[in-house]
Amino acid sequence: MLEVVTIVRAEKLLKLKQKQVSSLLRHLKRLFSDRGSEATARAIKEVCRLLEINQQYTPSFTHHCLGLCERTHRTFAERMTPYIQQGKHWEDMVPSILFSLNSTANDSVKYSPFEILYGSRPKFPLSGHVRDLNLASIPKDYHDYLKQFSERLDIIRNEVKDHALKSQTAMMERANQKVHNLTLRLGDFVYMSKDPTGPGHKFKFKFAGPYMLLKIVKVHTYIH
């Protein structure tokens, strides 16, 4: 499920987490984030330790490791842009946009975040099936209900894993088609690409070096 979070400092993030402990954090098993100061602060680490949440980080300067998060940000920005351009109070549209994202089936996993979490599709005011309630299908006790609900969730989440794996494999194959394998040997001189930042970054050198290869640890891992 998606939720908008505005983070400036670790203390602000901690206050947000305290408000959401009962509804969100208690369901988390792993917190995967970049190495921003709001995620690496000692206060956040302590909260994760107390709630037994496994906190993991992506390597530095590897934004593609958070591809799912970055893609969601892009979709959210695309849906928010028309309201900003029209001069409307865009903050009033955030709940509606979040609802649309949470209730829309994802192309890669074939399910919506709402259905993955709750085991059923979201109900809309114009949904016709809301009125067609079959009382005969209601379990007689909580044990039967929980058993059926657990089985339904298992089916959905197993299918989500299968679809996600197939989608990741297809994306990896497309990405590998554009990759040219390096054929380097010991003693070769190479330049390393870098991403200049700050004032005048367009005029700064985009490559560092040359460096001489002294050791090849494994593919794409070298010591100079």
- Choose one of 74, 102, 119: the last residue of a domain: 74
Structural domains in the chain (count): 2
Q: Give the residue ranges of the chain where pLDDT is below 50.
A: 7-8, 22
Q: What is the pLDDT of residue 174?
A: 84
**CA 224 to the chain's CA centroid:** 34
Q: Rounded to an integer, what distance in angstroms lies between the CA atom of residue 202 and that of residue 73? A: 26
- The string of pLDDT tens digits covering residues 166-194 is 988 888 888 778 777 777 788 888 888 88
Residue 19 forms part of a structural domain: yes
Locate the DSSP E strands across 34-79.
Answer: 54-57
Domain membership flag for residue 214:
yes
CATH number at residue 11: 3.30.420.10
Last residue of a domain, one of 29, 54, 74: 74
| 31 neighbors 8 (Cβ within 8 angstroms) | no
With contact defined as beta carbons under 8 Å apart, do 35 and 57 qualify?
A: yes
Task: Look at residue 22 in the predicted model and tell me its pLDDT.
Answer: 45
pTM of the predicted model as reported, rounded to 2 decimal places: 0.58
Phi-psi region of 57 (alpha: psi -120 to 50; beta: other; left: phi over 0): beta
Whether residue 42 is contained in a domain is answered as yes
Among 36, 57, 74, where does a domain finish?
Answer: 74
117-120, Cβ contacts within 8 angstroms, sequence gap of 24 or more: 117/1, 119/149, 119/152, 119/153, 119/156, 120/152
Q: Is residue 133 part of a domain?
A: no
Residue type, 220: H
Q: Taking a C-beta distance cutoff of 8 angstroms, is the pair 224, 211 a contact? A: yes
For the stretch 83-99, pLDDT in tens is 887 777 878 888 888 88
Question: Would residue 131 count as lying in a domain?
Answer: no
CB 98 within 8 A of CB 122: no
Q: Residue 27 belongs to what domain range?
A: 1-74
Distances (CA, A) of 129 to 49, 104, 117, 161: 44, 18, 20, 28
**Residue 184, token pair as written in the block:** 């380097």
Whether 107 is in a domain gets the answer no
Letter string b/e over residues 25-55, b meaning 16 or more CB atoms within 10 A of that residue's CB: beeeeebeebeeebbebeebeebbeeeebeb
Q: Hey, is 204 helix, strand or coil?
A: coil
